[in-house]
Copies of this chain bind each other. A is one copy, B any other.
Amino acid sequence: MAKKKKEIPLTGITVSKEEDFSAWYTELINKAELADIRYNIKGFVVYREWATITIKIMYAKYEELMEKNGHLPLTMPSLIPESNFLLEAEHVEGFAPEVFWVTEAGSSGKLSERLALRPTSETALYKMYSLWIRSYKDLPFKRYLSCQIWRYEGKMTRPFFRAREFHWIEGHDVFSTMEGALIQVKEDMEVTYQMLQDEFGIPIIFFERPQWDKFPGAISTYAADALMGSGKVLQLPSTHLLGQNFSKPFNVKFIDRDGEEKYGYQTCYGPAISRIYGAMIAYLGDDRGLILPFDLAPIQIIIIPIIYKGKEEIVIKKAKEIYNHLKDKFKVKIDDSDESVGNKFYFWELKGVPIRIEIGPKDIEKGEIILIKRHDDKKSTIKEAELESKIDKIAANYTKEIKEKSLIDFESQVECVYEKDAAIEAINNGKIVCCGFCSIDMDAYQCAELVEKEIGGFVRGKRVDEEKHEFATCLICGKPASCTVYIAKSY
């Protein structure tokens, strides 16, 4: 029997994810100490250590890929003068209800102009682009910011998912032609798949959003919806084709090869890293706590010495040996606290540490080590000499295994419907509805409002990877369908 010290009540999660996702998520956030919602401004939370470390790694991976694709980093001020905001009419109309305003400073009191806490950076950045970009030789001009933004969010906030301050990357690119901009939109979608699906294990589908749901000021918006496995989707990164909608008011011009002055064609892309983190832990986690991709775990290997009276020294010595053996290659820790072994198991499972190593005196006698993988709970007893090769193998496959398990079959979530009643039933059964729709232009807005009111879902748009038009009529108005859309509940 393992030595028991001060057994304290287990602090595991008490709600089942399947039964009550919302309560489960709240417990996960609290018990794994990922965020603290007790900060005393509504919608603003503290990200605790464990979340901050993972989010930093996610940023580093994302930035590396953005840079590989030719983006350079910039640092912009957080404040935007109100006068900049007014330059693009749709944009200001879209964002005005969400802006926090700085109006006073120090002892001098009122400022002469209100300053917006940036809700997004177009109106700050493109004024600078108009100063920097001169010639076709400067194009493509691809830049990114890693920063936080503020939005006075009306909906209910939830840590990481939806908050009044969040942390993201903004890509802002300028091209000499519309074709260049369209290729960039595709690159942004490809980057999203590489990061979200391959690195973070979150299944996504890209939709071209309806005109009433696009980014304010854009020509069109392509947004990734994460499939949360419950019929509900969560909007994740979106990329926006801006065309010349911003380059004209902001005067982003270049002299082309033919000597003529032209307006640039722009795109912008906004992966919200803190929100992606929320989606990832929500999607991958289980009733025992976090599951994290191997690279993203703040601790990758936890060593638990199984201490028996009289054998303390030999066990601790072996634990340290293994630690020293692994520490240069992996993020590894020995838990030599005075908690019980059982509590230690629960705690590090809750935290999502990918590999647990158990070492007891009997294992030492046999020259064996016990390894347990967090995501599938698989246990293996290995010879000490195999330790490194075995760990290397687990490390190399861990994220891939999570991904294979997590990538649900989109088609199985979808139900094609031809009548409103069938749509209502499907949505109530946690399905994503696929149907004919008159269009995704503004003339279909009334149909979309009815979808929201009567079916209880939202029109997510046209799938980017799909061309088929099998529906003859619009589900709502019965007019000829111009496209196939998907309807789902969303977080």
Q: Which A residues are within 8 Å of any B CB, using their own CB? A: 36, 38-41, 44-49, 51-53, 55-56, 72-79, 81, 83-84, 96-108, 114-115, 117, 124, 127-128, 131-132, 143, 148, 150, 152, 154, 165, 167
Contacts and interface: CB of A to CB of B under 8 A. Distances in A.
Given A36-B131, A102-B101, A152-B106, A72 B46 contact: no
Nearest to A76: B46
Contacts of A101: 102-105
Contacts of A106: 96-100, 152, 154
Given A100-B105, A101-B103, A77 B117 contact: no
A248 B213 CA distance: 50
Given A36-B132, A104-B114, 15 more contacts: A39-B127, A39-B128, A40-B127, A41-B115, A46-B75, A47-B75, A52-B75, A55-B75, A56-B73, A78-B117, A79-B100, A79-B165, A100-B105, A102-B117, A117-B117
Given A73-B49, A78-B148, A167-B75, A102 B105 contact: no
A128 B75 contact: no
28 contacts: A36-B132, A38-B131, A39-B77, A40-B81, A40-B83, A44-B77, A45-B77, A46-B75, A47-B74, A47-B75, A48-B74, A49-B74, A49-B143, A52-B74, A78-B78, A78-B117, A79-B100, A97-B106, A99-B106, A100-B102, A100-B105, A100-B115, A101-B102, A101-B104, A103-B104, A105-B152, A106-B152, A117-B117
A103 B103 contact: yes
A52 B115 CA distance: 24
Contacts of A152: 105-106, 108
A52 B73 contact: yes
Central interface residue in A53, A103, A154, by most chain B CB within 10 Å: A103
A487 to B, nearest CB: 29
Chain multiplicity (copies): 2
Contacts of A46: 74-77, 128
A124 B46 CA distance: 10
Contacts of A77: 39, 41, 44-46, 165
A213 B236 CA distance: 48
A49 B36 contact: no
Central interface residue in A51, A72, A75, by most chain B CB within 10 Å: A75
B84 A40 contact: yes
A75 B58 CA distance: 14
A290 to B, nearest CB: 17
A99 B104 CA distance: 8
Nearest to A60: B60
A239 B54 CA distance: 28
Contacts of A48: 74
Central interface residue in A72, A73, A99, A115, by most chain B CB within 10 Å: A73
Nearest to A45: B77
A143 B36 CA distance: 15
A51 B108 CA distance: 32
A79 B163 CA distance: 13
Contacts of A47: 74-75
